[in-house]
Structure 1
Amino acid sequence: MKKPLLLAGLVFMLGATAYAATDKDASIKNRATALARIQVEKAHLDEGQYVQVKNLNIRMLTEMEDIKARFAAEPAILDERLAVAQARYELELTALMRPAQLALFNQARNNMTALTAPR
């Protein structure tokens, strides 16, 4: 009697874990798509660039989640790894853009941050 219940519990736990992973992947893809659409709008990217940016965003968000999970107990290492990942992402993102697009993107990014001086 115990073996079938144990087996059923194990199958249920594995199914729940797989569902959570799928849900997390879907969430990352949705966030990456939304971010890519904003970036396309701000920098006037073409369709090919959109696909590349979306894939880059998926990789970046997945890497960020992985870093947060792995180094949650070590804040100093967490901050360092997140900063390195962010810098690599920015470098790859800007490499995908043409100079005029990069200027538009940087202008939009500066307008969204507190770095701009009040007028």
Structure 2
Amino acid sequence: MKNIFTPLVFALIVGSVQLAEAGSGDQNRTTDRATQMTKQLAQKTQLSEGQYVKVRQLNVRMLNEVQETKARLASDPAALDQKLAEMQAHYEWDLATILWPRQMAVYTQSKADLMAFSAR
């Protein structure tokens, strides 16, 4: 199961690396990235307006937590890996409370497709 989360966490980290290096524009970039992630999810899962707002808030919170965690645990890669995997699991748990079952199935399938593609 750890193998499932690790590629997703690294994808999230790679997407947020620029955010951590930015400076005072961090919050704007974080919200822009969260909006981009939410739009991508909305296209795949056909989110309602209420779901869109909740997922976007979840994405903003997740990206902020990733930035803080990377800064705090930069000197301990193993602990960082573990914490990011826990954060990804928590994110997916929260996402499952927002999405309907068929939407969650689409999200899960999209992850599987992404991992299959990145393994090639």
Q: TM-score normalized by structure 1?
A: 0.75
* Aligned twin of 1:45: 47
> Which has the greater radius of gyration?
1
Q: Secondary structure at the match of 1:55?
A: helix
Structure 1 position 78 matched with structure 2 position 93:
no
Give percent identity, aligned residues only: 38
Structure 1: which amino acid aligns with 2:90? R
Match of 1:57 in 2: 59
Please list every run of 5 or more consecutive structure 1 residues that lacks an aligned counterpart in the other structure.
1-18
Q: 2:111 aligns with which of 109, 112, 118?
A: 109
Runs of 4+ in 1 over 3 A off after TM superposition: none
Aligned partner of residue 78 in structure 2, secondary structure = helix
1:20 is displaced (CA, Å) by: 2.6
Match of 1:9 in 2: none
Aligned residues: CA RMSD: 1.8
2:23 to 20, 23, 41: 20
Q: Which has the higher contact order (CA 8 A, sep 6+)?
A: 2
Cα distance in 2, alignment partners of residues 54 and 39 from structure 1: 10
- Structure 2 counterpart of 1:89, which letter? Y
* Map of 2:102 onto structure 1: 100
Cα deviation digits, residues 3-42 of structure 1 (max 9, x gap) = xxxxxxxxxxxxxxxx933x00111101000000001111
TM-score, normalization by structure 2: 0.75
Aligned pair count reads 97
What is the CA-CA distance between 1:76 and the residue it aligns to?
Answer: 1.4
Per-residue deviation, 1:113? 1.6
**Structure 2 stretches lacking a partner, 5+ long:** 1-21
